Amino acid sequence: MASRYWAVSLPVQNSASSVWNNLQEQISKHSFDTPLYRFNIPNLRVGTLDSLLSLSDDLVRSNSFIEGVAQKIRRQIEELQRVSGVESNALTVDGVPVDSYLTRFVWDEAKYPTMSPLKEIVDSIHTQVAKIEDDLKVRVAEYNNVRSQLNAINRKQSGSLAVRDLSNLVKPEDIIISENLVTLLAIVPKYSQKDWLASYETLTSYVVPRSSKKLYEDNEYALYTVTLFHRVADNFRTSSREKGFQIRDVEYSSEAQENRKQELERIVQDQESLRSSLLQWCYTSYGEVFSSWMHFCAVRVFAESILRYGLPPSFMACVLSPSLKSEKKVRSILDGLGDSSNSTYWKSEDELVGGMMGLGGDADTHPYVSLTINLV
C-alpha cells in the first residue's frame, strides 16, 4: 500500500478525456512507476463566489482536523495490536482496503446529496467526524481506566516487598494470633539481615525468642515474621523503624485471598473484553472517518478548482502516488499540463488566484490544484 497520494485537478479546455490521455501518456513515458487513477468528483453545487472563498479557509482547517482524527484512530489500532500481539489487519472501508477505496473513489449520493450546498456537506462531514472523536475519547478512557486498575494490582503483586501485597507470601502456619500473642511481618533491607537476626529479640521486651523466620527475599528486601505480645507491638514498630526495618501487620485470610484472585480475574477479563471491542470499534470508525475524509477531499478539490480555473466547472481530477525519487519528474509533467492549458488565466490572475487558494503546503506553488493525502 502506498502511503502518500496526491489528489490533483488539471484545467480542461476541450475534453477531460484528452487531458487524461495526455497525462497517462506522459506518466507512462517519463515516470512509469507512478500509479495513476481518475478521481471521480460529481458535479457539486457551486453556490456564490463569496461562499466558495469563505469555504476555502474552512476547508484547510477542517482537513487538518479530519486527518488528525484518522491518525488518532490508526495509532490507537496499532497500540492495541501491539499490546495484544495481534497481527495487524488491513484498514478498510466496508471491507475495501483504504488505498483501493481512494483510488476507486465513488461519491456516496445517499449520504451526501450533490444538490446540497457545499458548506452543508462540509459541516455534515465535520460533525460526524467530531462525534467519532468524542466517542473515541470516552472508549479509550474506559479502557485505560481498567488497564490502570490492572497495573496497580500487578504492581502490588510484583513490586518490591516494600510496596507489594504480602498476603500471597504468607501461609496460615506462619502466623500465630492468640489472646496474648501476635505475628508481625518485617521488611528488612537485604544487606541488614544479620543485623535483624541479631537484634529483633531485644527491640522491645516480650518478643518470643527465635520466632523470626524468613519467608521470602527479592532484590532489595527480605520478609521475616516475628511473634511477640500484643501489648508491646507498638513499641516494637517504633524501635524497628529507628533501625531501618519496616513492620507490616499480617492480613491473612483464605476468603480475602480468594476474593482478590477473583477480582484480578474479573479485571483481566474486563480489559480483554474492552480491548477487543475498542479494536473492533476502531476498525469500523477508521473506515467511516476515512470515507468522510475522501468525500471531504473531493469537495476540496472541486471548490479549489472552481476558484483556480473559474466557471463553469471544467477540470479533470486524478490521484497519483509517485515515489520520492519520481516526485520532481511528476511535478514537472503536471506543471506542463497545468500551465499549457491555462497559462493566460494563471499568469494574468496570479495575485488573485494566489489570494483565493488557501490550500496550504505546496499547493499554491503549482499552476493546478494539488492536495497531499497521507495514509500513514
> What distance in Å separates the CA atoms of residue 187 and residue 247, rounded to the nearest whole number?
6
- Domain membership of residue 136 (yes or no) is yes
Give, in order, the Cα–Cα distances in Å from 8 to each of 264, 275, 326, 366, 369.
55, 39, 16, 10, 6
Which set of grid coordinates corresponds to residue 54? Answer: 469563505
Are 277 and 369 contained in the same domain? Answer: yes
Q: Helix, strand, coil proportions of the chain in percent (round to 5)?
A: 60, 15, 25
- Domain membership of residue 156 (yes or no) is no
Q: Please report, for the domain that includes residue 76, its CATH number.
A: 1.20.1460.10
- Domain membership of residue 138 (yes or no) is yes
Question: pTM for the complete prediction?
Answer: 0.76
pLDDT of residue 13: 86
pLDDT of residue 251: 66
Give the DSSP per-residue string, 77-126: HHHHHHHHTPPPPPPEETTEEHHHHHHT----TTTS-TTSBHHHHHHHHH
Are 60 and 107 contained in the same domain? Answer: yes
Are 178 and 134 contained in the same domain? Answer: no
- Domain membership of residue 202 (yes or no) is yes
Domain boundary among 223, 251, 279: 251
Domain boundary among 219, 251, 283: 251
pLDDT of residue 171: 85
pLDDT of residue 343: 38
- Domain membership of residue 212 (yes or no) is yes
* H helices, E strands: number in the chain: 9, 10
- Domain membership of residue 213 (yes or no) is yes
Task: Select from 365, 374, 376 the least CA-distant residue to 297.
Answer: 374
Are 124 and 236 contained in the same domain? Answer: no
Are 229 and 108 contained in the same domain? Answer: no
Q: How many domains does the chain have?
A: 2
Q: Please report, for the domain that includes residue 230, its CATH number.
A: 3.30.70.100
Domain boundary among 220, 251, 282: 251
Are 219 and 291 contained in the same domain? Answer: no
Task: Select from 362, 363, 304 the least CA-distant residue to 41.
Answer: 304
Are 133 and 275 contained in the same domain? Answer: yes
Are 228 and 333 contained in the same domain? Answer: no
Task: Select from 223, 221, 196 the least CA-distant residue to 207.
Answer: 196
- The domain of 201 spans 171-251
- Domain membership of residue 239 (yes or no) is yes
pLDDT of residue 253: 66
Are 244 and 323 contained in the same domain? Answer: no
Which set of grid coordinates corresponds to residue 20? Answer: 487524461
Which set of grid coordinates corresponds to residue 321? Answer: 502516488
Pairing mode, strands 369-374 and 246-249 = unpaired
- Domain membership of residue 166 (yes or no) is no
Looking at residue 208, what DSSP letter applies?
Answer: P
Are 43 and 136 contained in the same domain? Answer: yes
Orientation of helix 254-309 relative to helix 118-158, angle to 10° = 150
pLDDT of residue 17: 92
pLDDT tens, per residue, the chain with 376 residues: 568 999 999 999 888 899 999 999 999 999 889 999 999 999 999 888 888 888 988 898 899 999 999 999 999 999 999 887 777 778 999 999 999 999 999 999 999 999 999 999 999 999 999 999 999 999 999 999 999 988 887 777 777 787 777 777 888 888 888 889 999 999 999 999 999 999 999 999 999 999 999 999 988 999 999 999 999 999 999 999 999 999 987 766 667 777 778 888 888 899 999 999 999 999 999 999 999 999 999 999 999 999 999 888 899 999 999 999 999 999 999 998 876 544 333 333 333 333 333 343 344 578 899 999 998 7
Q: Exposed (0-12), middle (13-18) or buried (19+): which is 98, by Cβ within 10 Å? A: buried
Are 142 and 183 contained in the same domain? Answer: no
Are 198 and 108 contained in the same domain? Answer: no
For the chain, give the number of residues: 376
* Residues 190 and 216: beta-carbon distance below 8 Å: no
